Amino acid sequence: MSATQPILQPRMPKSWYKANKPHLFCPGCGHGMVLKALGEAIDELGIQSKTIFGCDIGCSLLAWNFLDVDSTQTHHGRTTPVMVGIKRANPELVTVAYMGDGGGYAIGSQHTVNAAIRNEKITVILVNNTNYGMTGGQMAPTTLPGQRTETTPYGRDPEETGYPTRGPEMIAAIAPEGAYVARGTVANLRQLKGYIKKALENQMAGRGFSFVEALSLCPTNWRTNAKDTWAFLEGKMAQYFPVGELRVPKQKEE
């Protein structure tokens, strides 16, 4: 990539709802970057008019009117089954379930697992920032060993609370043939957009469940300055949660 080439387009995606900007996320939050990658992927695939966006509770709900597409907001981990229902009733639509690590790996983990096992033809985008952001920074399923949160003031002790959930690895192990599974990061938006685009294309081709986890930033609850925020993401998080594609389905001859 040329040094002068932008990471993503310098303008807002066509599929963003412009009247709702600036957005409601904290300064330095990673959600806006994930949504920018998603917006550009929708633009490039030309699917704005047939995309349905569902977001969960928690900070991810602040995305409810971020995109200029038909949207729905659900409670506490229920975005996945709602999007499954919409997709089953309207197979021609492209459904995106957007959630945090708490929604997808804790209170909604059964939906994540069952949708993956059933190979539901939806796309899940899960934002991993290692804590419950909206409620003040409590320990989440993805909190790293030793990481301090509001509920682990001396650092997470895996002997007491278990080890962090590695979601894409779990889903790659249980999903049937046809599933697409990847983990990206807001530290590499071009790559993250590529993964999201492949996940949407996989759904559109009717191959199977498509899942992308995005490593993201929460400087408010990490209580970090800009330098330490990126150092945590690119250092400790990326080390524990390796970025890359875990399942890429074989494409049938068209």
* Residues lying near ligand SF4 in the complex (CB under 6 A): 25-26, 29, 31, 59, 129, 133-134, 218-221
The residue (of 59 and 171) whose beta carbon lies closer to ligand SF4 is 59
Do 84 and 41 meet the contact criterion of CB atoms below 8 Å apart? Answer: no
In whole angstroms, how close is the CB of 102 to ligand SF4 at the nearest point?
Answer: 11
Helix (H) or strand (E) holding 123: strand 123-128
The residue (of 29 and 41) whose beta carbon lies closer to ligand SF4 is 29
In whole angstroms, how close is the CB of 9 to ligand SF4 at the nearest point?
Answer: 22
In whole angstroms, how close is the CB of 61 to ligand SF4 at the nearest point?
Answer: 10
The residue (of 181 and 212) whose beta carbon lies closer to ligand SF4 is 212
Q: In which residue are the tokens 């790659």 written?
A: 172
In whole angstroms, how close is the CB of 226 to ligand SF4 at the nearest point?
Answer: 12
Do 94 and 123 meet the contact criterion of CB atoms below 8 Å apart? Answer: yes
Half-sphere exposure of residue 82, counting CA atoms within 13 Å on the CB side?
Answer: 19
Q: What is the distance in angstroms between the CA of the first residue and the CA of the last residue of the chain?
A: 31
In whole angstroms, how close is the CB of 4 to ligand SF4 at the nearest point?
Answer: 30
Q: Residue 215, SS3? A: strand
The residue (of 52 and 186) whose beta carbon lies closer to ligand SF4 is 186
Q: Which of 123, 40, 35 is nearest to 87 (CA)?
A: 123
In whole angstroms, how close is the CB of 247 to ligand SF4 at the nearest point?
Answer: 27
The residue (of 81 and 133) whose beta carbon lies closer to ligand SF4 is 133
Dist. CA 130–CA 194, nearest whole Å: 23
User: What DSSP string runs through 16-67?
Assistant: B-GGG-S-SSPTT-SHHHHHHHHHHHHHHHT-GGGEEEEE-SSGGGGGTTTB
Dist. CA 172–CA 116, nearest whole Å: 9
The residue (of 132 and 180) whose beta carbon lies closer to ligand SF4 is 132
The residue (of 53 and 209) whose beta carbon lies closer to ligand SF4 is 53
Dist. CA 206–CA 201, nearest whole Å: 9
- For 177, counting Cβ atoms within 10 Å of its Cβ (0-12 exposed, 13-18 middle, 19+ buried), the class is exposed
In whole angstroms, how close is the CB of 26 to ligand SF4 at the nearest point?
Answer: 3
